[in-house]
Structure 1
Amino acid sequence: MTTLELGPLLRHVGTTTATIWVETSARCTVEVLGASAPTFEVSGQHYALVVVDGLEPGTCRPYEVRLDGELVWPMAGASTPPSYLRTRRRDVEGERLRFVFGSCRYPPTDDPELEASLGIDALDAYATRLMDLVADTDDPDAVLPETLCLLGDQVYADELTPRTQRWIRERRGPGVEPQDEIVDFGEYAHLYSESWTDRELRWLLSTVPTAMIFDDHDVRDDWNTSQTWREEMAAQPWWPERIRAALASYWVYQHLGNLDPATRDADPLYRKVLEADGDVFDLLSDFAGRADAEVGEPTGVRWSYRWDLGRTRLLMVDSRCARVLNTEDRLMINEHSFAWIEENANGFDDDVDHLLIGSSIPWLMPPAVSHVQSLDELAATKGSRLAEKVRQAVDLEHWPAFRASFDRLADVVRGVASGPNAPATVCVLSGDVHHSYAAEARYPSPTRSRVYQLTCSPVRNGVPWFMEYVFALGWSRRLSRLLGRVATTAGLDEPPLDWSTIGGPWFGNAVSTLEVTGRDAHLRVERSGARGGLEPVATLPLT
């Protein structure tokens, strides 16, 4: 009998459509609510995306998954509530929407010491609470959030659990490098299975529409930090296979479900995959190789995408694979992808109450840290080897380290926030930095929208104790002014905006919820407690 290996994951949901992603043990036909799709094969693994169409807007209903007619979900004995499929409502003024977000989730391990150091998984704690709420209500629609935004490091391909390290040694045999990192597609499939099969998270992903974007650990630490980094990695004999497997698996496990059905069906690569007879790994490997080779070009594969949720627009932005890293230009995002951001950030009338920009790495860092990153970039562009070493050693690779792109995003946000159809808020949602905070931005000329950087990280990971002091010091006004003067003396322009914290920094495993009702918005930050569960950290009004 064919089994359900992973999933179901509820991915893009519209007003009348919903996409469900699954991985199965063998070739089969997957059925959900009367809709069906055949699986496709990648490196011996089997996947399907089922699009349920013709649904009523604003409805909530339980669903099951069948493989060749056999019921496989809900799983027997799982003791979880049903998985629900909720369609979006059409444009409704005053609608309440909840966006849960976070990043950097290290998977469960079998090492008690490591488990103790990592602490309680905040996303698992959130899922447990949500399961209880759903089980205790006759109206799941009232308690379920509209979207879960996973902002990077869904898997850790270079920091493996002890269990996976043992599995790799047994799979490859002794002496095959790198012994402590993922290399091929099958190993990436194992990594996703390890991360997404625990009971609580699996139910959460089956019920809450999930938007994802990669960050460095989905591929490798410091991925695309600089051209020097790329050259160093290219010298490793195992790297070509690794980067192809990383991007091919990301396309399958994360990217396909991000797309609305019309966009996905129009994708030539997806059509080729569905039309192929047999394993399509070579097809995806070639695509991944081209995508990696296009880093540094003005055009390239666009991993960014857009979700419209009622009167809120979410732009999830690739800030890793769209970079330009040559000696003439150091850009966070190439021209092709930035033009897409500008078009979609500005392409609405007066029917958007909130604009959300998801970027795995923060746009507005602590101001002192921001100045240091821009100064390091300046030194690196002038040929300083020390600046390049520092850049990689302490992760000076966020938006301020690509100053031209930092300023261009500031211009985009200012244009939206000052326009005649300005939304109530423009919020940049980010993760990566293993602490959480909320900052408000101010432009020299007042804007009609409130502008925020909302950062939540990690869901489950840690940070060296001394970095807590570094990040806290980064918000010091005195230190920021001092470093700002150093930056202008070195030849850098002053940043086109100011910003300051309105909450945080907070440390520990956390999830955040941005809740909007009409043009009102507030942020709720929660941290996992020592005995499990979530503890409130802060609730901040944003309007």
Structure 2
Amino acid sequence: MSAHLLIGPVLRRVVGDKATIWVETTSPAQVRVEAAGGGAGTASTFCAYGHHYAIVVVEGLPRGAASEYRVFLDDRKVWPQDDSPYPPSVIVTRPADDAAPVSMIFGSCREATPHATGRRLPPDALDAYARRLMADPRDPDRRPDLIVLLGDQVYADKTSAKVRRFLRRRRAAGHNGPAREVVSFDEYTKLYLESWRDPEIRWLLATVPSVMIFDDHEIIDDWNTSASWRADMSAQPWWRERIASGLVTYWIYQHLGNLSPDELAADPLLAKIQSVPDATDLLHDFGRSVDEPSSAENVDGPYQWSFVLDIGRTRLVMLDNRCNRVLTPGRREMLPAPEWGWFLDQAHGDYDHLVVGSSLPWLMPPAIHHVEAWNEKVADSAGPRRAAFAETVRRAFDLEHWAAFRRSFDALTELFRRLGQGGRGDRVGAGGAYAAPATISVLSGDVHHSYVARALLGPDVRTPVHQLTCSPIHNQVPAPLKPLMRFSWSRVAARGMRGLARSAGVERPPVAWKRLAGPYFGNAVSTLRHNGPQAQVILEGTTKQGDLFTVAKLPLTD
């Protein structure tokens, strides 16, 4: 039987004259990608859990050009589809000149279908973006260099009616697990099939490069909130399969495409997978091994999901805020020591703009920040009743952002302060002088409202530092929570919650911040643009008709 495309093509990384294309096929195949005007690549599919995947490195692309491309399975063209109403997909390479402007869109939290859980959601912002880009996919003013997806690309714990019907059949057949949540690899694949075969999304992912990082819903709500949370989840009979399957599917569907062509060539796991007829056992063992909890004493560190890439004069560092947290009470950290050291190395270098992708916001509404700092302090108290009460509150209200990992919050703030001051030991500018970055931006999602905040790090910090939060792409916050979240930005709420934190002995945070735009509660997608030393962010929401409109447009440089 001839192989067909099940998902894809998904255009992932474009580096110089190379690009990577990811596909899932219905059966084993030789996958070939040919670009008009030059450039081609071939790869065989690998097999895991009865599914077939390939990632093709396309080489020899013309620089600074937009090239239409075709995908062949065993010499049979399968993309673009002959009856497609959409424009042909293109691979756009950047010019050799690193000074060309850089543009990236970002956001998080996307439920797959309009009625995924029986709720009527506002129009999908990524669908709307795709429709607008279809008017002219080659237009540099419309087309971004990169899509940055900041978590909750799929919801393992909040499934659609279609997936729930599939799960009912699975549970009736003896496959254990929660009735409405996925557990096994096969169940996880249904989430990606549902999400990435949305026609507009499929075209967009085939046309614009993308990078992705997980948040909690790829696994389960509140993933790795605390050590006691992990202990409770580990006691569930289905948990080991859930976490292993979730991490393996994330590696295949999302993380593999985050790697550059050179990184793919050097990746030992991919080499092993491609060398065996069936990689199921390899990946099953991998999924179980990479869930080992981090600890402050772990010198070598766990598998690293964080990654870095440069686009022109912009450096993007994507951080894992979930899997590798250190959850030791009193020594909580967002990243284990080896990974933090790696991040410090990436934060120092030859670039103009530093962008940090963090699924969880660094700067939250001030009142919520103080509550999270209070909660962490009380949870670490010697009194077992106080600690247990704080743990209950931590889980009930999702108090698990950077503020609830105070050691990491302070360290990240100090890093930005030092980078923004410039000076010896930080970065070398083009003229040999030590220089601060033109801007530092933290891209985040998770919190189901969008905003822009400016960090106030003091007069000696020359670099503007901003928190840029865009969430959700396709979801919504419950209506009763909106006024509470608005209130959490107020000075009154901040003073009250700061008093609460002070009563527990929490020191004042080492940074102040002010909100410049938002909060906006609709579905949204944001654009970050860099042009020389200048930077700008545009937040766009969706109308009831499914079109985009500008919510806020702000310069990020003085």
The bucket for the TM-score relative to the shorter chain is over 0.9
Alignment of 1:76-115 (within 5 A): 76-93=82-99, 95-108=100-113, 114=118
Question: Is residue 2:270 matched to residue 1:267?
Answer: no
Aligned counterparts of 1:225 and 1:179: Cα–Cα separation in 2: 23
Corresponding residue for residue 342 of structure 2:
340
1:15 touches 1:58 (CA, 8 Å); kept in 2?
A: no
Corresponding residue for residue 425 of structure 2:
none
Alignment of 1:466-505 (within 5 A): 466-505=480-519
Corresponding residue for residue 158 of structure 1:
157
2:313 pairs, out of 296, 311, 327, with 311
1:151 touches 1:212 (CA, 8 Å); kept in 2?
A: yes
2:535 pairs, out of 500, 504, 521, with 521
Q: Deviations over 1:13-49 (max 9, x none)?
A: 1012100000000111100023100000110000000
1:124 pairs, out of 120, 123, 127, with 127
Decide whether aligned partners of structure 1 residues 385 and 91 sit closer, same or farther in structure 2, where only a CA change above 3 A counts. farther
Corresponding residue for residue 397 of structure 1:
400
CA shift, 1:445, in A, is 4.2
Question: Is residue 2:467 matched to residue 1:453?
Answer: yes
1:13 maps to a residue whose letter is: V
1:91 touches 1:311 (CA, 8 Å); kept in 2?
A: no
CA shift, 1:536, in A, is 1.4
Question: Is residue 2:44 matched to residue 1:42?
Answer: no
Corresponding residue for residue 4 of structure 1:
5
For the aligned residues, what is the CA RMSD? 1.5
SS in 2 for 1:118: coil
CA shift, 1:223, in A, is 0.5
Alignment of 1:257-336 (within 5 A): 257-276=257-276, 278-296=277-295, 297-298=298-299, 299-336=301-338
SS in 2 for 1:301: coil
CA shift, 1:109, in A, is 5.1
SS in 2 for 1:539: strand
* 185-194 or 281-290: bigger deviation: 281-290
2:78 maps to a residue whose letter is: V
CA shift, 1:289, in A, is 1.1
Q: Deviations over 1:93-147 (max 9, x none)?
A: 3x22211000000011567x935x212111101111111233xxxx444532100
Corresponding residue for residue 426 of structure 2:
none
Runs of 4+ residues deviating >6 angstroms: none
1:475 touches 1:500 (CA, 8 Å); kept in 2?
A: no
Alignment of 1:53-452 (within 5 A): 53-93=59-99, 95-108=100-113, 114=118, 117-134=120-137, 139-173=138-172, 176-276=176-276, 278-296=277-295, 297-298=298-299, 299-346=301-348, 348-349=349-350, 352-382=351-381, 383=384, 384-419=387-422, 420-452=434-466
Return the structure number with greater helix share: 1
Aligned counterparts of 2:94 and 2:260: Cα–Cα separation in 1: 13
Unaligned runs of 5+ in 1: none
Decide whether aligned partners of structure 1 residues 441 and 142 sit closer, same or farther in structure 2, where only a CA change above 3 A counts. closer
Aligned counterparts of 1:489 and 1:343: Cα–Cα separation in 2: 37
2:182 touches 2:188 (CA, 8 Å); kept in 1?
A: yes
CA shift, 1:90, in A, is 3.0
1:109 touches 1:163 (CA, 8 Å); kept in 2?
A: no
Q: Deviations over 1:440-493 (max 9, x none)?
A: 001134311100000000001111112212221121123323332432342222
2:130 touches 2:201 (CA, 8 Å); kept in 1?
A: yes
Aligned counterparts of 1:140 and 1:64: Cα–Cα separation in 2: 20
Aligned counterparts of 1:381 and 1:9: Cα–Cα separation in 2: 45
2:59 maps to a residue whose letter is: D
2:10 maps to a residue whose letter is: L
SS in 2 for 1:470: helix
Aligned counterparts of 2:229 and 2:97: Cα–Cα separation in 1: 46
Aligned counterparts of 1:10 and 1:184: Cα–Cα separation in 2: 27
